């Protein structure tokens, strides 16, 4: 089985998981998919927000670029959705096995708000929320 993005038109061919990649389990497939999405998202968001300085614009870029990347994988994501609410499940986006991908996602949001004129107090608040979310203590994906 190949990750859905191996054939979807979303990421450029050079960014896709090669179709000949073999995986030891479905958890490995999902992990490779999550890694790929995070990598492509970071590249796309950073490229698109280069000319933007406002908080709303930069957060819009982060959110819309992620949705653009995921749009062709709706069926695959729908199959994974059943595991989302169970942080103990290895396929859950809130589980221990996805801590690194969550941390990468949080870092993109943190990077997006840097230099936008957001108050120091709000930066500190978002950092505290990020640490809680990255450790799995917070069930919501924080800024």
What distances in angstroms separate CA 142 from CA 18, 25, 38, 108, one per listed residue?
Answer: 32, 29, 16, 11
The pTM of this model reads 0.70
The Cα–Cα gap between 15 and 126 comes to 30
Chain segment 50-93, per-residue pLDDT in tens: 889 899 999 999 999 999 999 999 999 999 989 988 999 988 98
The residue with tokens 């986006």 is 93
Higher pLDDT among residues 7 and 58, named by residue = 58
Spacing of C-alpha 40 from chain mean position: 9
Of 44-48, 67-71, 74-78, 115-119, the least confident = 115-119
Which residue is listed with tokens 């107090």? 121
Catalogue all structural domains in the chain, each as residue range(s) with its CATH number: 4-134 (1.10.357.10)
Q: In 3D, which of 40, 48, 39 has the Cα closest to residue 112?
A: 48
pLDDT, residue 15, reads 52
């Amino acid at each position: 089985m190949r990750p859905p993005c191996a054939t979807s038109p979303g990421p450029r061919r050079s960014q896709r998981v090669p179709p000949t990649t073999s995986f030891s389990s479905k958890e490995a497939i999902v992990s490779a998919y999550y890694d790929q999405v995070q990598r492509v998202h970071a590249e796309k968001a950073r490229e698109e927000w280069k000319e933007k300085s406002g908080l709303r614009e930069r957060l819009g870029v982060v959110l819309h670029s992620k949705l653009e990347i995921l749009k062709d994988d709706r069926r695959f994501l729908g199959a994974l959705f059943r595991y989302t609410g169970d942080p103990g499940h290895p396929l859950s986006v809130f589980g221990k096995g996805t801590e690194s991908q969550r941390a990468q996602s949080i870092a993109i949001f943190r990077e997006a708000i840097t230099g936008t004129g957001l108050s120091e107090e709000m930066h500190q608040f978002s950092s505290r929320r990020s640490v809680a979310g990255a450790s799995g203590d917070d069930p919501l994906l924080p800024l």
